Structure 1
């Protein structure tokens, strides 16, 4: 499958899927498919890293398989695990059957038992295998976008597992052998840069740093996502969000929160983003009390938040 035929086509198809990609993003998205290399997206939270993977899925009609990373993630949650409850039931059923055979064949010891290694073989088969996102993506025959989201939140040990997947697109299951991909998925890894990823992982990926868009690009995104937004208030909102991002906040406003703010203003029929309007709707864009207090102080909204 050809994911995108050119960077220009990637930009057009992503735009049709609701994602406005700049030249660097479109080029790297094209190359990730053309070279069959994973794409590592790094940047602050809320700049559209996860959304790019979703947009590739929408634009190409591929299934999205997502592995949400977190501290403590292990192989059983990322790759596969055995259905232990089902295996236990099989063992109990096997034991009951052996007991029944033993009763019915008394006096003929050669027919009373059956080797336990037969049972070991029978409970480590596809029937008892629970696939997790990494193995699911590798085994799929249909076009697949594999999103490994917030990979920087995992423990370093998990990167060893990712190396096998990202190097050869195969995994080894001791009981079943090596499972190799028949169709390589389009792989996107995202990182908020909370810790440095290993050079081994980076070496296997194309790299793209995504930052907050400039004012013109963000205004285009807002008007694409919220078509009812007036040009004047869109310009005011983008300027205000830019000022908020310049402050030392616990969580700077993301693009998604800018869109939420725009929808909030439309719902309240606010047509001018003055100081009172900002103060009254700040909760749509800033989600920490300390951030709101700093914004009120720095933007000089004191005394204007009350209706």
Structure 2
């Protein structure tokens, strides 16, 4: 089956822009190729550079449904693929053995009855595989999972299928657009990487970040936008626990609009740092290193 997500890299750039996501050339090209080649896309980079938002934007731009698997330490097959509704199965077993039935059902009959679609609880990976409509599957922060979880992904990423021992193999009739994100907190296996296209996202340059902020915050004065981005760039150069994300730059711009601030002077920067820096030590370092006024 052929699935047209984007007609070209230029089409991807234009439609993603219309969906509120400004891309560079590499991102637009890779997004196009991920759809054209039906290959999963592994997006790696620091937190807050728009990795997750890219998957959301693809869904918005193409009218697809977004299915998200949020990864975390301890994630297992039951939460990623599927599990059986054990409580409902137990009730069915008890009902099958009840004297009121007139005759006891054999175990084989009961077994075949309880391992059916009625008792299957689908989780994100299986849900995305089974959907007939266009679907974007977001496997978010895959580097936070245990190494064993990557094994669960391999069958999905290789053949877009899931094997359920009791029911057989479920194969996708329409391949989803798959985006895996990673903050590079650990190295992913070569087996997973081999199955994916790769895109590294970093913080945008000042010009593109100004464009992003201005597009997200209508009414922001161009001079204030330039001042804001200049400060954000300087903050990212410091050794902070958490550098400001693009989303936090946008939040800061909205804060300035709400406060009706027409000039981002040092005192205002110091007073509103809590919008972009969420650790007290980071705020103290910023005030000291950037020689900001304290009030």
Give structure 1 regions of 4+ aligned residues with deviation exceeding 6 angstroms. Answer: none
Q: Are the structure 2 counterparts of residues 113 and 93 from structure 1 closer, same or farther at C-alpha, using a change threshold of 3 Å?
A: closer
Q: Cα distance, 1:258 vs. partner?
A: 0.2
**Quick one: which of 40, 43, 55 aligns to 1:41?**
43
> Is residue 229 from structure 1 mapped to residue 231 from structure 2 by the alignment?
no
Q: Cα distance, 1:95 vs. partner?
A: 1.8
> Is the CA contact 2:81–2:123 (under 8 Å) kept in the aligned structure 1?
yes
Q: Cα distance, 1:264 vs. partner?
A: 0.4
In structure 1, the partner of 2:107 is: 116
> Is residue 265 from structure 1 mapped to residue 256 from structure 2 by the alignment?
yes
> Is residue 53 from structure 1 mapped to residue 42 from structure 2 by the alignment?
no
For residues 82-137 of structure 1, what are the alpha-carbon distances to aligned partners after superposition, in whole Å with 9 as ceiling and x for unaligned?
Answer: 011111111121121xx2356xxxxxxxxx54311100110000000000000000
In structure 1, the partner of 2:82 is: 80
In structure 2, the partner of 1:181 is: 172
For residues 250-275 of structure 1, what are the alpha-carbon distances to aligned partners after superposition, in whole Å with 9 as ceiling and x for unaligned?
Answer: 00000000000000011111111111
Does the residue aligned with 2:97 lie in a helix, a strand or coil? helix
Please list, as runs of the form range in 1=range in 2, the aligned pairs for 1:192-207 lying within 5 A after superposition: 192-207=183-198
Does the residue aligned with 1:208 lie in a helix, a strand or coil? strand
Structure 1: how far apart are the matches of 2:72 and 2:215? 32
Structure 2: how far apart are the matches of 1:37 and 1:11? 19
In structure 2, the partner of 1:133 is: 124
In structure 2, the partner of 1:108 is: none
**Quick one: which of 254, 258, 266 aligns to 1:275?**
266
Structure 2: how far apart are the matches of 1:254 and 1:191? 15
Q: Tell me how large the CA RMSD over aligned residues is.
A: 0.9
Q: Cα distance, 1:203 vs. partner?
A: 0.4
Paired residues in the alignment total 293
For residues 12-53 of structure 1, what are the alpha-carbon distances to aligned partners after superposition, in whole Å with 9 as ceiling and x for unaligned?
Answer: 000000000110000000000000000000000000000000
In structure 2, the partner of 1:288 is: 279
Does the residue aligned with 2:272 lie in a helix, a strand or coil? helix
Stretches of structure 1 lacking an aligned partner (at least 5 in a row): 103-111
Please list, as runs of the form range in 1=range in 2, the aligned pairs for 1:122-161 lying within 5 A after superposition: 122-161=113-152
Structure 2: how far apart are the matches of 1:19 and 1:93? 54
TM-score (norm 2): 0.98
> Is the CA contact 2:210–2:229 (under 8 Å) kept in the aligned structure 1?
yes
Structure 2: how far apart are the matches of 1:38 and 1:271? 44
Structure 1: how far apart are the matches of 2:132 and 2:275? 42
TM-score (norm 1): 0.94
In structure 2, the partner of 1:100 is: 100
> Is residue 70 from structure 1 mapped to residue 59 from structure 2 by the alignment?
no
Structure 2: how far apart are the matches of 1:277 and 1:101? 76
Structure 2: how far apart are the matches of 1:165 and 1:212? 30
> Highest Rg: 1 or 2?
1
Structure 1: how far apart are the matches of 2:200 and 2:100? 65
In structure 1, the partner of 2:91 is: 89
Does the residue aligned with 1:146 lie in a helix, a strand or coil? strand
